Amino acid sequence: MTESRLSQVDNLKLTMPALGIDLGGTKIRAAAVLNNKLVSDPQEVPTPSGAENIVNAILGLIEKFQAKHVLAGVGIATAGIIDGDTGEVVGSTGNLPGWTGTPIRTAIESRTLLPVHVENDANAAAFGEASARNLRHLNSVCVVTLGTGIGGGLIIDGKLFRGAHFGAGEVGHSRISLGNKRLCTCGLFDCWEAYGSGRGMVATAREILVGLNADQTPLVALGSNLTTRNIVAAAAKGDIVAQRAISMWHEHVAVGIVNLAHILDPSVFVLTGGMAECVDFALIHEMVVDRCMSRIGENMRIEKSELHGVAGIIGAAELVLDAILERAS
């Protein structure tokens, strides 16, 4: 391609926003994104049921934004395993029944004539984090989403690493215990997710509570209503059982990070998701360094996401902008 055409594409990237869409189980959120930042307020609609209705809801959002912005393209982050080349949902997702097999990219491209990129939501969020934090020039970035479960995404040499079958980054389903003690939502035992997620913190607290009575800790009275919120609130009031659960949860989170550090030695870890709010970053850094080989530990960077739920939107938008540049080159 000629230099003048390249600079045209560069201008495109710099002046025209892409629409980033984050398709979740309950709502679809979208915003216009330029240079790794939102340039519009996010809009959201409830997620309808059925693939056709979801596609129509996405088309409705695009139309709404097109009334105000000239869009360079549309990036869509969705649950499920996505074939990044075809933009098709190839692996099922419990939260979006009937979604597997949907050729999202073709469906949206054919009706909007805009370039579309579709990506797994954890991957898109990871790419959004790396982009917004200006980390894409580094050797590698490992983004870990600590929420009800644990997800992740890897950015290697500035590009999303999807693995050979678009399955990379399932870091929550690496096994950290041999006891067959905690059944994970994936059907396997003792995944990192069963310990280091929000659900893991509650499970840890329940194990500590066995045999204790309501005089020893108010958590006993909560029974099956025990949540991470209760545990964090009780710990803040000095409850030692809650504090012990949170301390053990930090140990569990650290195990998974140490494992990733020994396998990948990434430049930076970014922790995101609702449970990242519960992480004591000084403590987790100390734990991880303490349990890592010195060469890896002495360079350890563990940072907290500051994107507050828009990582998927930014990542999806940046991915379609990247795809446009790549197709043009």
Q: Is 91 helix (H, G, I), strand (E, B) or coil?
A: strand
Give the amino acid at 300. Answer: M
Among 35, 293, 304, 306, binds its own copies (CB under 8 A): 293
Q: How far is the CB of 265 from its own copies (least distance, A)?
A: 3
Sequence-distant (6+) residues with CB within 8 A of 83 are 90, 166
Residues 11-70 touching its own copies, rule: CB under 8 A, are: none
Q: CB neighbours (10 Å) of residue 280?
A: 12
Residues 190-229 touching its own copies, rule: CB under 8 A, are: 195
* Helix extents (H) in the chain: 3-15, 51-66, 104-112, 121-132, 193-196, 198-209, 219-222, 228-236, 240-264, 281-290, 294-297, 311-328
Q: How far is the CB of 68 from its own copies (least distance, A)?
A: 38
Sequence-distant (6+) residues with CB within 8 A of 239 are 217, 218, 219
Here's the x/- map for its own copies, 78-107, by CB under 8 A: it reads as: ---x--------xx----------------
User: What is the distance between the alpha carbons of residues 126 and 104, in angstroms, rounded to a whole number?
Assistant: 21
- Establish if 247 lies at the interface with its own copies (CB under 8 A): no
- Establish if 177 lies at the interface with its own copies (CB under 8 A): yes
Strand partners, 318: none
280 and 250 Cβ atoms separated by less than 8 Å = yes
Cβ distance to its own copies smaller for residue 41 or 85: 85
Cβ distance to its own copies smaller for residue 165 or 304: 165
Here's the x/- map for its own copies, 251-280, by CB under 8 A: it reads as: -x--x--xxxxxxxxxx-------------
Count residues binding its own copies (CB under 8 A): 48
List interacting residues with its own copies (CB under 8 A): 81, 90-91, 138-140, 152, 154, 156, 161-171, 173-179, 186, 188, 195, 252, 255, 258-267, 291, 293-296, 299
